[in-house]
Chain A
Amino acid sequence: MEIIKTAGLTKNFKRFKKQAGMIGSIKGLIRREYEEKQAIGNLDLTIQEGEFVGLIGPNGAGKTTLVKMLTGIIAPTCGSVSVLGYYPNDLEHEFKQQYAVVMGQKSQLFFELTVEDTLRLFKEIYGLPEEEYESSRDYFVKLFQVQDLMHVQVRTLSLGERMKMELIAALLHNPKIIFLDEPTIGLDAVASKQIRGFLAEINERRGTTIILTSHYMEDIKALCKRSIVINHGCKIYDGDTEKLFERFQKFKKITFTFSEPTLLPNLEFDARILEQTPYKKVIMVPKENAAGLLRELMNLLPTDITVEEEEIGTIVERIYQEGGDGLA
C-alpha cells in the first residue's frame, strides 16, 4: 500500500541577497534584492507501507526540505504530495497523530524535567489510554534498556541517552511513519549501533515505515533496503541500497601477509600498492581485476589474505560526484 506519494514536488526559497560591508548593508536597507533558490525540483516519489528508506545527499541537497514537506512543516511551491492520504501542510490533527519526526539536533523533551514527565505529556497529547501508554512505554524502556534513566532530569543525560529518550517519545503513540533526520549525529560507534538495532527491530516487529536521513552511510547501509539519493534538489538514484553501493564500489583493497620476506613482481591489473613491508603488502585494485591479481599472487604463498571493500566515505563521495549520470 502506498503511504507516501509525491508528483512534481517543488520547493523554492526566496532569500535576501546583500553585498558585504557597510555600504552593502546601507544599500540593502534602501533596496532589497532577493534571489530564488530551488531546494527541491520536480520530485516524484512513492513509498510503500513498511519500507525502510534512506535519504542520502550532501549538505544542502534538499533532504531535510523534503522531510519538512512530507511532515507538513513547510508548504510546497508546486506539485502534489500525499502522506497517509493527507495533504501534510493542512496540519490536520488526525494526520499528525499518525506520524513522528525525530531530528537529531532538535529536542522534544523538557530539559528541566524527567523523561517520564515528557512521556506523560505525550500520552495526553496523543490521547493514549493508560494501559496502552504503560505497555508501549515499558516495551521501549526495556528495548532501549533505560530503566534507570526515567526519573532523572533530561539535561543530565548523555547525548546517546537523550537520543534514546527522543526515540521513545516519538514512538510512544505507535506511529505509522517515522521520519528520522540524522538520529545518530554526534553519537559514538556503540550508541549508533544500538540505535540502529532498535530501529531495525521497530521496522520489522511493528511494521513502521521509516524514512531515514543520515550522513552516516553505515546507518543507511545497515538499515535501508532502498535508498534515494538527492543532489541539488533532484533525485539522482532511487533503488536498492546494495546495488547503489555495488555500482560505486570500484576498487577492492587486498592485504597479503607472508611468513618470510617477500618481493612483489611487477603488478598488472591496474593495481596500486598502498603499503609495503617485507612481510605485508596492501594493494588496491579495480574490483573486476581482483580475481586475476589474487590468482597471480597466490603463487607467492601468502599465509593470510584479506579482501576489503573501499571505505564508505570514498564511495559516497563518488556517488555525489558521478551519481547524476544516468542513474535515476
Chain B
Amino acid sequence: MGLRKYLEILKIFIKTQLAWRGDSVIQILFSLTKILFASLLWGTIFAGRDEVAGFTLSSMMSYYIISSFLTQLDMSSKVSMEISQRIRNGTFSKYMVLPVNIQGYFVAMEMGMVLFHLIIYFITSVIWIFVFRIKFVFTPDPAIVAGIGILILLGLFFMAQLNYYLGLLTLKYEEIGLFLMIKDNLVAFVTGSIIPLTLLPEHFLWIMKAFPFYYVTYLPSMLLIGRLKGELGMGLLALSCWCVVLQAVIHVTWQNYRIKYDGVGI
C-alpha cells in the first residue's frame, strides 16, 4: 500500500512529460548535435592514429554515447531547483501537508522523469549509432550488464539524494546557487562525461575513486564498453556506502532545519 503512492507519483511525472510533445522532439534533435560534435572532435584527435590512451575511435565514440546517455538520464538537478525555489517563495508547504515521505516524493518524481527520458534517449542513441554507422563497443557479459544496471540505479539514487540534500540547505542558507554551481562543475568534470578519466594522470584517478561521482557515470560507461571489469564490485560497495552516509546526513539536516522553515509569502 505504501509503495503504491510513490508509483502513482512516478506515473504522474511520466504523464507530465508526455504533455509536452514539442520538448520531446527538441530533445531528440538536440542529441544529434552532441553526437555530431563528438564525431568531429574525436575524428580530429584520432586523425592518423589508431589509438589514444588505449582507446580506438570506436571505443571512444561508444564511451561518449554511453556517458552522454547516462548524464542526460540524471534529472536530479530539477529536485534541488524545485525544493530551493519552493522554500524561497514559501510554497514548500505543498509537500509538507501531504501524508508522504517528502524525499520519497522527489525520488519518485525523478524516477518518472528518468523513465520517460530513458526511452527517448535509448531510441535516439540507437538511431544515431545506426545512422552514423558507429562500430559500437559493448560488453557481452550479461552478469556484468546486470551489475552495471544496479550501479546505474544506485548512481541515479545518489544524485537524487545529493540534490535533495542541497535543496534542503535552502532552509538554512536561503540561497544555494553557489552550492549548485560547485556541484554542477564538479559533476560535469568528475563524472567523466566530458572526457574519459583515464586520460588524466593516475594519481588524479585515485583521488576520484574516493568520491562517489566516479561511480555515477564514468565507471558504468567504462564497464559497458568492456573495461575496468574488476572495479564493478568495489563500485557497488563504494556507492552503497555513500548512499547510506548521505541518507544519514539528510535525516539529520531535515530534523534540524525543517523547524527553520517559515513559509514566507503565503
Contact = CB atoms under 8 A, between A and B. Distances in A.
Interface residues of A, number: 35
Given A74-B261, A112-B20, A124 B266 contact: no
B261 A113 contact: no
B5 A124 contact: yes
A121 B261 contact: no
A106 B261 contact: no
A110 B98 contact: no
A162 B162 CA distance: 35
Contacts of A103: 93, 266
A73 B93 contact: yes
B16 A74 contact: no
Interface stretch (B7-15, B72-80, B135-143, B240-248): B7-15
Contacts of A91: 96, 258
A68 interface: yes
Contacts of A72: 96-97
Interface string A293-311: 0000000000000000000
B8 A89 contact: no
Contacts of A42: none
A113 B5 contact: no
Given A112-B16, A125-B8, A68 B99 contact: no
Interface stretch (A93-101, A245-253, A267-275): A93-101
Interface in A103-144: 103, 105-106, 108, 110, 112-113, 117-118, 120-121, 123-127
A112 B19 contact: yes
A322 to B, nearest CB: 29
B178 interface: no
Contact of A121 (B12, B19, B99): B12
A75 interface: yes
Q: Say whether chain A's binding surface is mostly helix, strand, loop, or mixed.
A: mixed
Given A73-B96, A96-B98, A101-B97, A117 B15 contact: yes
Interface string B2-39: 00110111001001100110000000000000000000
A142 B159 CA distance: 45
Interface in B121-169: none
A117 B12 contact: yes
B72 to A, nearest CB: 21
B52 interface: no
Contacts of A110: 12, 16
Nearest to B98: A125
Nearest to B92: A73
Interface in A200-247: none
B203 interface: no
Interface in B198-233: none
Nearest to B93: A73
A108 B15 contact: no
B186 interface: no
A10 interface: no
Which of B4, B8, B97 has the most C-beta atoms of chain A within 10 angstroms of its own C-beta? Answer: B97
Contacts of A124: 4-5, 7-8
Interface in A70-93: 71-75, 89, 91, 93
A89 B261 CA distance: 11
A13 interface: yes
B255 to A, nearest CB: 11
Nearest to B3: A124
B93 A121 contact: no
B263 interface: yes
Contact of A113 (B4, B19, B262): B19
Contacts of A127: 1, 4-5
B94 A106 contact: yes
A188 to B, nearest CB: 23
A93 B99 contact: yes
A121 B9 contact: yes
Nearest to B97: A101
B5 A13 contact: no
A6 interface: no
A108 B93 CA distance: 10
A64 interface: yes
B5 A106 contact: no
Interface of A: 13, 64, 68, 71-75, 89, 91, 93-94, 96-97, 99-101, 103, 105-106, 108, 110, 112-113, 117-118, 120-121, 123-127, 153, 181
10 contacts: A68-B263, A71-B93, A91-B96, A91-B258, A93-B99, A103-B266, A112-B16, A113-B16, A125-B5, A181-B266
Given A74-B263, A124-B5, A125-B99, 19 more contacts: A91-B96, A93-B99, A93-B100, A96-B99, A101-B93, A101-B97, A106-B91, A106-B93, A108-B94, A110-B12, A110-B16, A112-B16, A113-B15, A117-B12, A120-B8, A124-B7, A124-B8, A125-B100, A181-B266
